[in-house]
Amino acid sequence: MTPECAALLAKADSKLKTARIDFANGRYDDAVSRAYYAAFHAMSAALLAKGLAFSSHGQVIGAFSREFLKTGVLASSFGRAVQELFADRQIGDYDVFSSIDPKTAERDIREAERLFAAVSRHLESSPG
């Protein structure tokens, strides 16, 4: 694993830790935002390992789906999870009339942890 990929995974892990702290303190909007960014950094690490880097969230999500989910490298169920994480982050960060409930925040953290673990396993087992 390259130092850049390792750094992105470390950043993802840090975001997960912050998500758990935010959740424990009842900051559910912030918890889902951190969970999404954990997933985003993990996806970015996986893509970077293939020599791919993108400038927008949509490009990262699309490329991750194309390179890892549609090919069966990682479980296709991550596609829906990433879409939910992105949508919930939008609500948590930008929707002044809505807020994230504890059940949604808990689910998002769990899904981000699952994605992080899958990407970490994949990168650790990949040559290079």
Per residue in 38-53, pLDDT (tens digit) is 999 999 999 999 999 9
- Locate 81 and state its tokens: 């999870």
Question: In this structure, are residues 113 and 18 in contact, taking their beta carbons and an 8 Å threshold?
Answer: no
CATH number at 89 reads 1.20.120.330
pLDDT band at 127; cut points 50, 70, 90: low
φ/ψ of 100, rounded to 5, equals -85, 135
Question: In this structure, are residues 12 and 41 in contact, taking their beta carbons and an 8 Å threshold?
Answer: yes
Q: Which domain holds residue 66?
A: 3-125
- Locate 71 and state its tokens: 């090919």
What gap in Å lies between CA 68 and CA 22, rounded to an integer?
30
Does the predicted model carry a pTM greater than 0.85? yes
Radius of gyration of the chain (CA): 14
What gap in Å lies between CA 31 and CA 54, rounded to an integer?
25
pLDDT band at 55; cut points 50, 70, 90: confident
Domain count, the chain: 1
Q: Is the pLDDT of residue 98 over 90?
A: no
